[in-house]
Copies of this chain bind each other. A is one copy, B any other.
Amino acid sequence: MSSSKSPPVSKSPPVSPLAPGRLPEMPPVAGVRLATAQAGIRYAGRTDVLYVGLDEGTRAAGVFTRSKCPSAPVDWCREALSGGAARALVVNSGNANAFTGRLGREAVALTARIAARAAGCNEGEVFIASTGVIGEPLPAERFEGVLGDCAGRAEAGGAAWTEAARAIMTTDTFPKLATRSTEIDGTRVTINGIAKGAGMIAPDMATMLAFVFTDAALPQPVLQALLAEGTRTSFNCVTVDGDTSTSDTLMLFATGAAGNAEVSQESDPRLAGFRAALDDLLIELAQLVARDGEGARKLVTVRVEGAESDASAHRIALSIANSPLVKTAVAGEDANWGRVVMAVGKAGEPADRDRLAIWFGAVRVAVEGARDPAYSEHAASAVMREPEIEIRVALGLGSGTARVWTCDLTKAYVEINGDYRS
């Protein structure tokens, strides 16, 4: 742990070469106001706390890490979700408040108390997330005064969103934002989201966090169902190194301020547009995380088709996306399909070696369990030199499909995470 090190000054690592060219223009979301501050949790010279005020009537949905050792804020949010209502969100960077025992629970309770006073709500309507170092007590008393001040000056405007995305960064090299606009039964609604994380990973840190806000009016069960479903094809399909955080948190807040007619079933066709917009936004945020994977120079999309089921396809796709040998081959721009075969084989899912076909980009490199007779090393190598690469595997067994995103495994990843004290 870096507990005894001096607090890291905000460094400016080079921005990932896979970062989008520009940040999106974020419209306001009615009922949502944001402010950031320097609470001095760990970093010096940068914001490290985000406060989001939510209008009365806001409903919350959330999905959280499946880690058996979740952080104290994850435990808190799971509990608070049972109420279904939200009035404030507090996110800090620099300390994950994970594996902190009794002190961790006390820090969360204190944070909720301070935030509830600032927002004028019950503690059970406060949601909390923390990202940063594991195992160190979070000095939550530093939020005293800070959150009240944030509540007073919170704003709805576009710049506040960018500042929010910046305040929750740890080893991220760029802020991650996305926005969509759609309609529910003729009423225009907005969805804004922010995220942080370099996959499930970060040096001395742990956390992938994402927060999505909409002015749509939606019952909590519908909100939860839409979020859980959207997660399946977005955040659960992104991996940098397979190291699931203790703190992974994705929340969706709906203020209802758009005034659309409430729809009580998530399967209602009037929600088709909203569902599509939400899914799309979640995918964009998830991709942004892969694009900021530590040390990443290439974005890899892995598609698996013809599996016995979607679940089977998903496990095979993750086996490929998490394989160090596949990821180092991508880093080396090596069209090494033998390693893709290896990763398919080790997934433990139904696969028939002699029906397998593999593509890098549009180039088929293997078919019917052997090298493609028309294989061109030249064409495959050209694909591998691109910054964005698709690896596609057809199993020929059924109709199960999956798509996951990852990045390459470079020496910079080892350097960033190795700490190399000496």
Contact = CB atoms under 8 A, between A and B. Distances in A.
- Max count, chain B CB within 10 A of own CB: residue among A98, A101, A410: A101
A342 B199 CA distance: 14
Given A328-B417, A337-B135, A410-B414, A346 B67 contact: yes
Interface string A84-113: 000000000000101111111000000000
A284 interface: no
A249 to B, nearest CB: 14
Given A324-B413, A334-B419, 15 more contacts: A65-B345, A66-B348, A67-B342, A67-B346, A68-B346, A68-B353, A99-B341, A133-B338, A243-B325, A243-B342, A246-B342, A328-B418, A329-B417, A333-B419, A333-B422
Interface residues of A, number: 81
Number of copies: 2
Interface in A194-210: 201, 204, 206
A351 interface: yes
Given A3-B377, A201-B325, A418-B328, A206 B68 contact: no
Interface string A36-70: 00000000000000000000000000000111111
A331 B101 contact: no
Interface of A: 1-4, 65-70, 96, 98-104, 133-136, 201, 204, 206, 241-246, 322-325, 328-329, 331-339, 341-354, 356, 365-366, 368-371, 377, 381, 409-411, 413-415, 417-422
- Max count, chain B CB within 10 A of own CB: residue among A243, A353, A419: A353
A contact patch SS: loop
11 contacts: A68-B344, A68-B347, A99-B353, A100-B370, A101-B368, A135-B337, A135-B366, A206-B339, A244-B342, A333-B420, A381-B421
Given A336-B204, A338-B99, A356-B69, A371 B325 contact: no
